[in-house]
Amino acid sequence: MQLYAIRRRGAFADLPDLEAGAARSAKVLNEDMPDRVRWIRSYVVEEAGGRIGTICIYEADDVASIREHARQAEIVADEIVPVLNTVVVRQDPA
């Protein structure tokens, strides 16, 4: 599997909308695609205008699998780019 970063710009109206999207995402991943796509982590960011976006890190067989996951989960995937390497200067804060 390849590591990918996925940008979802302004995809969610508020935190309850984000939580609903995350639940749909997890359901699709666990039930329909457990061997093709793995959700590693997401960074939730505030977008202009107060909407919420995310930067997600996934492992997947290919970009097509990530796009299919997004379609089934009814969430956008504005940009999908392969991660070439990881440089950890400090661990994420708790």
The domains located in the chain, with CATH, are: 2-82 (3.30.70.3090)
In this prediction the pTM is: 0.90
Residue 66: pLDDT above 90?
yes
Q: Which residue would you say has higher pLDDT here, 92 or 84? A: 84
Condensed to tens digits (0 to 9), the pLDDT of residues 8-54 reads 999 999 999 999 999 999 999 999 999 999 999 999 999 988 999 99
Average pLDDT along the chain: 95
Q: For residue 33, what are its two tokens?
A: 């695609």
Across the beta sheet with 37-46, what order do the strands follow?
Answer: 37-46, 52-60, 2-12, 79-82
Residue 93: pLDDT above 90?
no
Q: How many CB atoms lie within 10 A of CB 27?
A: 12
